[in-house]
Amino acid sequence: MNQSPLGPRRHFEPSVFHPENLLREARRQRGRPDGPVPAFCVLDPDGDLVRALRDAGRCHEVAEWACYHTAMVATALPCGVEIGIVGCAVGGPFAVLVAEQIFAAGGRILVSITSAGRIAAVAEPPYFILLDRALRDEGTSGNYLPTEPYAAADPALAHAAAAVLDAAGFGFIRGCSWTTDAPYRETEAAIAAAERAGILAVEMEAASLYAFATARARSVLCFAHVTNQMARTEGDFEKGAQDGAAEVLALLDALARAGLGLP
């Protein structure tokens, strides 16, 4: 195999390009105020939660979010905690670009809830999986951590989240996902191999986010919202009422109510 002209990856060498500097320039060019975003932030890759909140008039734009690529909206959960939400950051590279900036802008915990395809028939969609780890079948994680098959959640954070959701009576499964950056290359052979490995679902962000979180010592928790079986039958992709927005808000409220990951 030919060596990259960049040479071996230097995982522990600091980057020249910093998210704080990008935010500084975006803030200057766009006239954004200098201030923190909400401490509790959410990635909504499908944009369903953001759309539901906007349609209901239940959110407002976060002016302090000085990002070139995305908007952040804020809403108050029933428990009173304000959360910041970025929609449509799909795929590992984009999710981590946004995650880096969220923490640089004052975020303290980031929860990603992404639509996922079912691998193992553990339940009928839609349902949620709290992801303990994710198979690294994408490129972003390799820039944060040396090569290992999986990227994992912080065990203490995942355990605390599971306990909180159990206490709240929120239905979920714990397990492993397969993170791919090529969703239209999910072949029968790859799906079968993933199922043999104990993988429950396939999605596009978790391995990248968990590698980033480990390398940068950040609090990140990923959920797969299993909504489909890769559209192999007509009528697939069922998310529930309002594309599952009510269930997602209930999950976030339970976590925020317990102060998970917050000072």
| pLDDT number for residue 119 | 96
- Angle made by CA atoms 64, 69, 70, in degrees to the nearest 5: 55
Q: What is the pLDDT of residues 242-254, one digit of tens each?
A: 678 999 999 999 9
Comparing 161 with 261, the larger pLDDT belongs to 161
Neighbouring CB atoms inside 10 A of 197's CB total 14
Helix, strand, coil abundance in the chain, percent, nearest 5: 35, 25, 40
| pLDDT number for residue 72 | 98
Q: Which helix (H) or strand (E) holds 193?
A: helix 188-196
Whether the pLDDT of residue 139 is over 60: the answer is yes
Whether the pLDDT of residue 9 is over 90: the answer is no
| pLDDT number for residue 7 | 87
Cβ-based burial of 179 (10 A; exposed 0-12, middle 13-18, buried ≥19): buried
Q: What is the pLDDT of residues 171-209, one digit of tens each?
A: 999 999 999 999 999 999 999 999 999 999 999 999 999
Q: What is the pLDDT of residues 12-28, one digit of tens each?
A: 899 999 999 999 999 99
What pTM did the predictor assign? 0.95
- Going along the chain from its start, the domains and CATH numbers come out as 34-256 (3.40.50.1580)
Assign 263 a pLDDT band (cuts: 50, 70, 90): low
Q: Which helix (H) or strand (E) holds 201?
A: strand 199-203
Question: What is the DSSP-derived secondary structure letter of residue 3?
Answer: P
Q: What is the pLDDT of residues 14-71, one digit of tens each?
A: 999 999 999 999 999 999 999 999 999 999 999 999 999 999 999 999 999 999 999 9
CA gap 231, 225 in Å, rounded: 15
CA gap 110, 200 in Å, rounded: 22
Block residue for tokens 């304000």? 82
| pLDDT number for residue 12 | 87
Block residue for tokens 């509790």? 40
Whether the pLDDT of residue 95 is over 90: the answer is yes
When pLDDT is averaged across residues 75-81 and rounded to a whole number, the result is: 97
- 3-state secondary structure (DSSP) of residue 255: helix
Q: What are the C-alpha distances in Å from 11 to residues 17, 95, 147, 197, 256?
A: 14, 19, 10, 27, 33
